[in-house]
Chain A
Amino acid sequence: MSVLGILRVTLTKDLRMEWRSKDAINSMLFFALLVVVIFSFSFDLTAEESRQIAGGLIWVALLFAAVVALNQTWARELRNQVLDAYRVSPAPAESLFMAKTIGNFLFVAVLELLMTPLFIVFYNLRSVGPVYQLVLASLLGNWALVVNGTFFGAMSIRTRSREVLLPLILFPISIPALLAMVGATTSTLTGEGSAHLPLVFLAVYDVVFTLVGLFLFETVLQAE
Chain B
Amino acid sequence: MISSPDNPAVVLNEVSKLYGRFAALRMVSGEFAAGRLYLILGENGAGKSTLLRVLAGLIEPSHGKLTILGSSDRKAVKPQLGYMAHASMLYDELSGRENLAYFAELYGIRDRAICDQAIRTVGLDPALERRVGQYSQGMRQRLSLARAILNDPRILLLDEPFSNVDVGSAKEMTRLLGTMRDSGKTIFLVTHQPALLEGVADESVCMSSGRVIERVAHHLSSLETPEAKR
A87: Cβ under 8 A from any B Cβ? yes
Chain B binder among A37-45, A48-56, A78-86, A156-164 = A78-86
CB-CB nearest in chain B for A17? B93
CB-CB nearest in chain B for A91? B106
Inter-chain CA distance A80–B90, complex, in Å, is 6
B106 touches A16 (CB 8 A): no
- Which single member of A10, A16, A76, A80 contacts B87 (CB below 8 Å)? A80
Contact residues, A94-137 vs B (CB, 8 A):
none
Shortest Cβ gap from A123 to chain B (Å):
37
A-B contacts, CB under 8 A, total: 77
A9: Cβ under 8 A from any B Cβ? yes
B70: Cβ under 8 A from any A Cβ? no
**Interfacial chain A residues near B32, Cβ < 8 Å:** none
Of listed A76, A80, A84, A91, residue having the most chain B CB within 10 A: A80
Of listed A80, A81, A88, A222, residue having the most chain B CB within 10 A: A88
A89 touches B107 (CB 8 A): yes
- Which single member of A6, A87, A88 contacts B105 (CB below 8 Å)? A6
**Interfacial chain A residues near B75, Cβ < 8 Å:** 90
**Interfacial chain A residues near B59, Cβ < 8 Å:** 224
A1: Cβ under 8 A from any B Cβ? yes
**Interfacial chain A residues near B57, Cβ < 8 Å:** 87-88
The size class of the interface chain A forms with chain B is 20 to 34
**Interfacial chain A residues near B58, Cβ < 8 Å:** 84, 87-88, 224
A1 touches B102 (CB 8 A): no
A17-B94, A85-B89 in contact; A9/B102 too (CB < 8 A)? yes
Inter-chain CA distance A82–B94, complex, in Å, is 12
CB-CB nearest in chain B for A19? B93
What are the interface flags for A185-212 relative to B under an 8 Å C-beta threshold, 1 for contact and 0 otherwise?
A: 0000000000000000000000000000
CB-CB nearest in chain A for B74? A222
**Interfacial chain A residues near B108, Cβ < 8 Å:** 1, 90
- Which single member of B79, B86, B89 contacts A90 (CB below 8 Å)? B79
Inter-chain CA distance A129–B93, complex, in Å, is 44
Of listed B78, B81, B105, residue having the most chain A CB within 10 A: B105
Query: Which 6 residue pairs of A and B lie closest in terms of their CB atoms, listed nearest first?
Result: A1-B108, A89-B106, A81-B87, A91-B106, A90-B78, A85-B89
> Could you name 23 residue pairs across A and B whose Cβ atoms are closer than 8 Å?
A9-B102, A16-B93, A20-B93, A20-B131, A76-B91, A79-B92, A80-B90, A81-B86, A81-B87, A81-B89, A82-B89, A84-B58, A84-B89, A85-B106, A86-B106, A88-B56, A88-B58, A89-B151, A90-B75, A90-B106, A91-B106, A91-B107, A224-B58
Footprint of B on A, CB under 8 Å? 1, 5-6, 9-10, 13, 16-17, 20-21, 76, 79-82, 84-91, 222, 224
Q: A13-B98, A85-B106, A90-B107 are in contact. List 13 more A-B contacts (CB 8 A).
A: A16-B94, A20-B131, A80-B90, A80-B91, A82-B89, A82-B91, A84-B56, A84-B58, A85-B103, A85-B147, A88-B81, A89-B151, A224-B59
